[in-house]
Amino acid sequence: MTSSEIKTHLLIIYTGGTIGMMKDPVSGALVPFDFEHIYDQMPILKNFDFKIDFHSFNPLIDSSNMKPSFWIQLAEIIEAKYELYDGFVVLHGSDTMAYTASALSFMLENLNKPVVFTGSQLPMDVIRTDGRENFLTAIEIAASKEDETSVVPEVCIFFENQLMRGNRTTKFNAERFNAFVSGNYPLLAEVGIHIRYQKNNILKPNFKKLKVHTKLDFNVTILKLFPGISESVVKSTLAIPGLKALILETFGSGNAPTDSWFINCLEEAIKNGLIIYNVTQCKSGSVDIGKYETSLDLGRIGVIGGYDITTESALAKLMYLIGEGYPKERVLELLQTSIRGEMTIE
């Protein structure tokens, strides 16, 4: 195939993680493999009639070291290369992939091309690796078009045999190849012999110009409730200097202790300007403030319900909305609006 016959151009961005690792023949340790030589390592790539380019992060990181500054770098690479490519595959460690995919979904407004995250539980050179299938299928999804338009023009995660909306995912298994769950949103595609796209579940392209948002505000934290949580834990969290928003990971459908010290602490913090966002600890289902007596007070003092948003997505959304500098009332409104398909409001 001559270069003029190649219609689809993809960019693979390698950030680190198991998928890009191989055992060093000398030391025996896992080291990142050199994508310069990917066609030698995986000659099957030559069978695709796509042009594939590679971009490696420097340094490559285990995704436990992922930071918002890397999200910004990633968004800027996609912005710089957006017009040159039809789709992007991001190779990323699975540990924090759901956070990065959520963040990118907010940072890339008007995305009309696929950004497919994938990774693996076993390195590429292990005989039973899941990386090979994940990588090849992610490439196929990123290249997939219908009437010159990308089939999946959104930030998504492909793992094992499931394509999921990125900002709906959570890593829920540290060992199984099927490592992610999208507890509140159906799959975008199921992969077996065929890639069965569920078109009704996929965001429609709007054909507007990509707008990249990189002004994230990091003054956001998470407080997970547990039976017996003490006043000093709650108070010291609320006393974090400069804190602008707190994700309160509540029980069940948004429930919390009714102790007066607890409610009073939160009420005072809200009066002093803190945004408190109620997100459930459950991997599936929605916050419903007022359903139980144990959430009535949260509603009364001004805690904002996050419906069925994941913690990963809530964190990214708050960093994005506050970073954009919207007035507080607008932030509160958008926290209860689905802006990138990240929550279901019935």
**Catalytically active residues, by annotation:** 18
134 binds ligand ASP (CB under 6 A): no
Q: From CA 277, how far away is CA 118, in angstroms rounded?
A: 29
The region of 16-24, 76-84, 194-202, 220-228 touching ligand ASP under the rule CB under 6 A is 16-24
* The one among 22, 41, 62, 296 contacting ligand ASP by CB under 6 A: 62
Integer angstrom CA distances of residue 106 from 78, 210, 314, 333: 14, 12, 11, 16
Distance CA 270, CA 288 (A): 20
Q: In this chain, which stretch among 1-9, 88-96, 155-163, 215-223 interacts with ligand ASP, using CB under 6 A?
A: 88-96
Q: Does 18 bind ligand ASP (CB under 6 A)?
A: yes
131 touching ligand ASP, by CB under 6 A: no
Q: Does residue 129 belong to the site contacting ligand ASP (CB under 6 A)?
A: no
Q: Does 310 bind ligand ASP (CB under 6 A)?
A: no
CA separation, residue 85 to residues 12, 14, 257, 346 (Å) = 10, 16, 51, 37
Looking at residue 95, the DSSP 8-state letter turns out to be T
280 or 311: whose CB is closer to ligand ASP? 311
- Pick the closest to residue 250 from 231, 270, 222, 271 (CA basis): 222
Q: What is the rounded radius of gyration, in angstroms, for the C-alpha atoms of the chain? A: 21
| Long-range pairs for 325-332: beta carbons < 8 A, 24 or more residues apart | 325/215, 328/273, 328/275, 331/275, 332/275, 332/304
Looking at residues 250 to 279 of the shown chain, list those that interact with ligand ASP (rule: CB under 6 A).
none
The nearer residue to ligand ASP, 122 or 282, going by C-beta atoms, is: 122
> For residues 250 and 281, is the Cβ–Cβ distance under 8 A?
yes
Among 44, 64, 230, 344, binds ligand ASP (CB under 6 A): 64
Binding-site member from 11, 12, 13, 17 for ligand ASP (CB under 6 A): 17
Residues 161-190 that bind ligand ASP (CB under 6 A): none
Q: Indicate the residue whose CB is closest to ligand ASP.
A: 93
Q: Which residues are at the interface with ligand ASP (CB under 6 A)?
A: 16-18, 62-64, 93-95, 119
